[in-house]
Structure 1
Amino acid sequence: MLDRTIWWHVYPLAALGAPIRTEHDTAHRLRKLEPWLDYLVELGCNGLLLGPIFASATHGYDTLDHYRVDARLGDDSDFAWLIDECSSRGINLMLDGVFNHVARTHPWVAEGLAGDTDWEGHGELATLHHSDPRVRDAVVDIMCHWLRRGIAGWRLDVAYAVPPEFWREVLARVRDEFPDAMFLGEVIHGDYAAIAREGTLDAVTQYELWKAAWSSLVDTNFWELAHALERHPADLLTNTFIGNHDVDRIASTVGEEKLVLAAAVLMTAPGMPSIYYGDEQGFTGVRGESWSADDAVRPALPASPGELSPLGGWIFTEYQKLIGVRRGHAWLTRARVEVLDKTNETISFACSDGEHTLQTDMRLDPAPGVRVHTDGEELYSWMLK
């Protein structure tokens, strides 16, 4: 079941060492993922959520051709290789679909399918004309093309900005051929449930819980996390996360001493979790303000996991343990959550599917610690020494 996938989220252009703003090259970088596929399985994940891989002008979100693998990452044969390698390991592969806008130099602009409006003031991005039947037909064809190649679903970039009627029509047509495909919409703000319902999205990103998790830990205020958990939609699948390609690294935000608590929220709260590559190693990075603002949170991976710094080994082990708890209680994906107790320094919440219950207790004082248990059985515990 795709909703029980635990995703490892990778921004491939940067992670695999491709030039972003300088002159582009041609290389078979997708194949550099091979040792990392084994790594994500060792971590406990069973899904690869891959950022943009299609031909683009710079960072991947300025698409030039949705049917062609970016030459900086490889070609069609490299994608076929990736599908085979993921399949042989039982890894679900989700691709990032940018269907709100394209690069201003995309042929669609000259053809009148986009271009009247810049995307959020970015002159290099042209918003698609979503009411144009040609755009709807094109997106249906693109989605089906790559689903036929073997992907499990699509992350829909800035899904909240696309008219819901566009998603309703497009996804209905795609589901006619691929009824089991997953469509995960990026929703940063607004009424999550309404956006998902009106657009018929399978899942949406849970930014409210992300913000509450790190903010509570930074400010020693678990009331904020409690509020977010109490608002957590019980009838909507959400993609939970504590890091992605657009936000500061969680280790930089909360500090090493509270990193396990953030991971525990991710792995014991309801939803479909994704782990941004390197967070499980304690990677640090803070976004800047210039044209290279994202570089710090989108680093290159070494050639193999064996070249990672040993300093991250301890948090990798804690992630493995927490993911083990999660996989042993897969029903958590669609569980209901109840906050049992809260103070500024402590919180206890329980998740239940009506038959099973899992409780998480966290504290910040006198030292950060977390305990996960069920029916009197301790499943996981950690305390800062």
Structure 2
Amino acid sequence: MYEEIALMSATLAFHQAIPGYLTRDGDRIVVKLAVGGVQPEIVRLRTEPDNEEALTDMTRVEAHDGWAWYQAEIEIPEPDVQMRYLFKLVWSDRLLWYGALGLDEGVPTLNQMFRYLPDHQVPDWVSRQVFYQIFPDRFAEGDPNTTPETDAYDYLHGLTAQRRSWGDAPLAHQGPVEFFGGDLPGIEQRLDYLADELGVTALYLNPVFTSRSNHKYDTVDYYTVDPHLGGNEALVSLSDRLHEKGMKLMLDAVINHTSVYHPWFQRALQGDAECRARYVFQGDDNEQPHYASWKGHDSLPVLDFANPANVETFITGEDSVIKHWLRPPYNIDGWRMDVIHMLGEGAGARNNHHHVRGLRHAIKSHNPDAYLLGEHFFEATPWLQGDQEDGAMNYYGFGHPVRAFLAGLDIAYDPIRLDAAGLARWLAKARAAIPFAQQQAQLNQLDSHDTRRLITMLNDDAALFQAAIGLLMTYIGAPCLYYGDEIAMPGGDDPDCRRSFPWDRDDWSSAAFSATQRWIRYRRASEALQTGALIDLYAEGDVYVFARVLAGEQCLVAVNRGEGRDVVVADGLTPLAGQWQCLEGGGELGRADLNLSLRLPARSTVLWRRQAD
């Protein structure tokens, strides 16, 4: 990233693990740093190969247009050892350190160092995707004969299955037992809409395995796609069609807990010791059974991964749940792991990281190119150091701060005041704490099945919502639309955020749909937006400006949540001969000395792009 220390020096610096700046060459790593403005007399690369400082002199290899490039080579660390590194810039009378949060006089802390784990890279396809999350029962009905009829079966606490008409409002008191008829054939029938008209390239489906609920986070059978969604054959057909269109498919795995209706749990209640040992029961067999459940929900008994049988069934076994669906004929491309940080031994999450590492090994040994995504509502830094998850659902590092900045609400919908400077700090700290590869593999969303819809949080401010879509499609990581985002579909708290998709286009926001189509096209046409580094350039009041950069392409993004205004931005970008072109937002860009002057429309995201001639 980039940061200017205006009072200390007129020096700029840039490094990130993009091509040309960090390159693996056999058993060595080539590291490069760009320095602009006042040049240091000595530049050193600081590493910690044995948890102690090692300094390597960097050689100046190139200089032009006020910038110089310095290079060093070091040996690759031992397998599974994360390389942490910084840059030390020395003058005759002072020095500066350059780490993941920019230039600083003091030595950056460990979580502000650049980091790289050579032998644990994420699939390079992830950041190139535009994901689309689907709650299967609410997206599209393909086979009306599969939908459960009212009172077809019992649930818990006196609830029974309820068949609802498409377009009816979900009812909170019915919760998990309302079925609107969406299924996998319905998704397959809408692939032309998703891929060709909208432009998304990957689907993330909420759970599809057999369950008595509509959300299916209470699995009854892990080896069978719910017949009400079309069964196993429907998943095979959907997967085949997706891959024919060059798309990817990610499923949702729920292995922290099962349904109370899972055969293991039912047998456990009858006194089966082997099945009882799969769960966390309190008390002896002669007492009324008490069991640990997910966040106190008695429908979701927690699995105990101290039991080797669970580890084998779900993770390590030859036909484990995780491996089964990666194989033909299903061939899924990745797993989103529900509440992955809660997976563990006993009633808590003991030895969680051990089991997540085992999960990674099981997935990658079967398909090294599969995506391992973890669900975390809060900070996921410990799981994102290269040896566990490829990426996380980026609530902490994107969703929370973006909603706070645009809607003035925190994750609990309490009021929060966050200006652009606060937004930039929050985003930068979240990025700095994880390797660049994991930054690229974060799944960024504006809302999801667990949150209010952003358009509702914004009180139907259409312009601000479209600005949010622009930020989503330009920020580092993989953007993911929650079904209906593209038409500004409203929704409050669960279950209202899970309405059925309105296929009557008269009910759509055509402006939101057109804007989303455009932003997706920009994302897919730009290598810098997909894989480039992110540089913060300006953050003050209502305006946040950043750039996405590669050696031959730069994109400049300005997000303005307030009234139209002019801002002057220090030009901290390395030189590129191409001319800036405004792609979206209608803003104006000019250059004065070493600054960029931007004229920004109200409540907008503006995108400029330039490429090497």
TM-score, normalisation: structure 2: 0.57
Q: 1:381/1:282 Cα in 2 relative to 1: closer, same or farther (>3 Å)?
A: same
Amino acid of the residue matched to residue 476 of structure 2? Answer: P
What is the identity, as a one-letter code, of the residue corresponding to 2:475?
A: A
1:55 is aligned, of 206, 210, 214, to 210
Matches within 5 A, 1:90-169: 90-109=246-265, 110=268, 111=275, 112-116=277-281, 117-140=292-315, 141-148=320-327, 149-162=330-343, 163-169=352-358
Q: Measure how far apart 1:318 and its partner are.
A: 0.5
> In the TM superposition, what is the alpha-carbon distance from 1:181 to its structure 2 partner?
0.9
Deviations 1:288-332 (A, max 9, x none): xxxxxx221111124xx4x23354221111111111111112443
Q: Are 1:10 and 2:128 an aligned pair?
A: no
Q: Structure 1 308/134 Cα, relative in aligned 2: closer, same or farther at 3 Å?
A: farther
Gaps of 5+ in 1: 288-293
Distance 2:492 2:182 in 1: 29
Tell me the residue number matched to 1:246.
450
Alpha-carbon distance between aligned partners in 2 of 1:242 and 1:368, rounded to the nearest angstrom:
25
Query: What letter corresponds to residue 120 of structure 1 in structure 2?
Result: K
Q: Which moved more, 1:41-50 or 1:194-203?
A: 194-203
Deviation string 1:62-121 (CA, Å, 9 cap, x unpaired) is 111111111221212212221122122222111000111111221233212124311111
Looking at structure 2, the residues matched to 331 and 354 of structure 1 have their Cα atoms a distance apart, in angstroms, of 9
Secondary structure in structure 2 of the residue aligned to 1:62? coil
- Of 166, 179, 192, the match for 1:38: 192
Alignment partner, residue 288 of structure 2:
none
Structure 1 stretch displaced more, 171-180 or 17-26: 17-26
- Partner of residue 365, structure 2: 176
**RMSD across aligned positions (CA):** 2.6
Distance in 2 (CA, whole Å) between partners of 1:198 and 1:179 is 14
Distance of aligned partners of 1:228 and 1:177 in 2 relative to their CA distance in 1, 3 Å threshold: same
Aligned letter for 1:252? T
Q: CA deviation at 1:145?
A: 1.1
Q: Name whichever of 135-144 and 329-338 sits farther off.
A: 329-338
- 2:536 matched residue in structure 1: 339
User: Does residue 1:227 correspond to 2:425, yes or no?
Assistant: yes
AA in 2 matched with 1:143: I
Offset at residue 368 of structure 1 (A): 9.7
Aligned 8 A contact 2:135 2:205 in 1: yes
| Cα separation, 1, equivalents of 2:257 and 2:447 | 24
1:185 correspondence with 2:340: no
* Percent of pairs with identical residues: 27
- State the number of aligned residues: 372
| Paired residues of 1:216 and 1:223 also in contact (CA < 8 A) | no
Question: Which whole-Å deviations, capped at 9, do the CAs of 1:133-185 have from their partners, x for residues lacking one?
Answer: 21121113112111112111111111122212112113212322211111111
Q: CA deviation at 1:367?
A: 4.7
Instruction: Provide the rounded CA distance (Å) in 2 between the counterparts of 1:135 and 1:230.
Output: 39
Q: For 1:102, what is the secondary structure of its paired residue?
A: coil
Say whether the 8 Å CA contact 1:156–1:186 is kept in structure 2. yes
Residues 561, 602 of structure 2: 8 Å contact kept: no
Alignment of 1:330-369 (within 5 A): 330-367=527-564
Residue 105 and residue 48 in structure 1: after superposition, are their counterparts in 2 closer, same or farther (change >3 A)?
same
CA contact 1:349–1:360 (8 Å) conserved in 2: yes
Structure 1 SS opposite 2:476 = coil
Q: Is contact 1:230–1:337 with CA below 8 Å preserved after alignment? A: no
Provide the C-alpha distance between the structure 1 equivalents of 2:562 and 2:220, rounded to a whole number of angstroms: 52
| Partner Cα distance (2:507, 2:137) in 1 | 25
Which whole-Å CA distance do the structure 1 matches of 2:443 and 2:160 have between them?
Answer: 33
CA distance change for structure 1 residues 63 and 199 in 2, over 3 Å: closer, same or farther?
farther
> Which fold has the larger relative contact order, with Cα–Cα distance below 8 Å and residues 6 or more apart in sequence?
1
In 1: Cα distance, 2:261 partner to 2:302 partner: 12
Find the aligned partners of 2:182 and 2:558 in 1 and give their Cα distance. 46
Classify 1:97/1:356 alpha carbon distance in 2 versus 1 (closer, same or farther; 3 Å).
same
Counterpart CA distance in 2 for 1:358 and 1:351 is 5
Instruction: Report 1:268-283 matches (<5 A).
Output: 268-283=474-489
Structure 2 distance, partners of 1:182, 1:249, is: 26
- Assess if the C-alpha contact under 8 Å between 1:350 and 1:358 holds in 2: yes
Q: Name the structure 2 match of 1:326.
A: 523
Give TM-score, length-normalised by structure 1.
0.89
Q: Would the aligned equivalents of 1:160 and 1:188 in 2 still touch at CA under 8 Å?
A: no
> Which secondary structure state, in structure 2, belongs to the residue aligned with residue 197 of structure 1?
coil
CA 1:205/1:28 → structure 2, altered by over 3 Å: closer, same or farther?
A: closer
Among 357, 374, 383, the residue aligned to 1:195: 383
Q: Deviations over 1:37-70 (max 9, x none)?
A: 1111121111011111001131210111111111
Give the C-alpha shift of residue 378 in structure 1.
Answer: 1.3
User: 1:86 maps to what in 2?
Assistant: 242
Tell me, yes or no, if structure 1 residue 267 matches structure 2 residue 473: yes
